[in-house]
Amino acid sequence: MAFDKENIIRLATVDSTNRYLRDEASLLWNKCGHRGMVVVTAGYQTAGRGQRGNTWNSNVGENLLFSILVRPGKVLKVAEQFILSQAVSLALHAAMRAYGIETKLKWPNDIYVGERKLAGILVELDCCGEFVEQAVIGIGVNVNQELFPIMDRIPVSMKMLQGRDFVIDDVLATVLEKFEYYYEKLCKGDRDSIAAEYTNLLLGLNEVRSFVDSTGCFTAILKGVEPDGCLLLQRNDGSLSRYFFKEVELIL
């Protein structure tokens, strides 16, 4: 079921769609949250943010920059919050596949083609007791941009991959359609299939890869992700190490 375009708040410029949505959450939810979510898009972000405190660089009007507000209520426990990130990642993977682009999911919240970053996700939560009361999901997809600043993670765009321009609103509609599908599965309790699909699409799964943690660089086999979001790595001596978000980084 396509998302009602009238329920999308469109901004020409904003510092951050996540910040805007968090500040205006109650007002916007009352206005257009009857479908279970609120969406805010921007043509340009002056202070776009990514994971680990990184900035999100994007030329004006060339990429898809938006945030989604959901209020899962008693459906999602704080201890299970990573399943929401998995659902969003799968939605982006499915949306890109609809355009003929095959992606992998880089733990915890990035979408890659080969070893180039196509999209990123930033999830910010407000919790009440043991449950997630509200989640603001920021998403950035490189759509039509071809020239990027020099950065440690080499970016790629849909246009660079497919050799043509894309209508950004069409890409947004596709992503929202896929997100609705996976979010509905999450709300109905179908967590195992989401987690299994996410694991199967992990970049580097069952491969010897290089990582870096607080002690330095090392190699290990990426074995999967646990329900709490911990990355599971098998060391050279066969032992298993668990890493929470920000404790380890896959080196590309």
Express each pLDDT in 47-81 by its tens digit. 765 544 445 567 888 999 999 999 998 999 999 99
Distance CA 190, CA 186 (A): 6
- What is the reported pLDDT for 59? 81
Question: At the topology level of CATH, where does 208-250 sit?
Answer: SH3 type barrels. (2.30.30)
Q: Which CATH architecture has domain 5-200?
A: 2-Layer Sandwich (3.30)
Mean pLDDT of 204-212: 97
- In the chain, CATH 2.30.30.100 sits at 208-250
| Per-residue confidence band for 46, with pLDDT thresholds at 50, 70 and 90 | confident
Residues 6+ apart with CB under 8 A from 172: 8, 39, 41, 64, 66
Distance CA 175, CA 139 (A): 10
Q: Are 130 and 248 in contact (CB under 8 A)?
A: no
- What is the reported pLDDT for 85? 97
Distance CA 251, CA 107 (A): 12
Express each pLDDT in 127-160 by its tens digit: 999 999 999 999 999 999 998 887 667 899 999 9
Tokens 């990027």 appear where? 148
Strands 38-45 and 8-14: parallel
Q: Are 84 and 178 in contact (CB under 8 A)?
A: no
Residues 6+ apart with CB under 8 A from 214: 247
User: Is the torsion defined by CA of 153, 154, 158, 159 positive or negative?
Assistant: positive
- In the chain, CATH 3.30.930.10 sits at 5-200
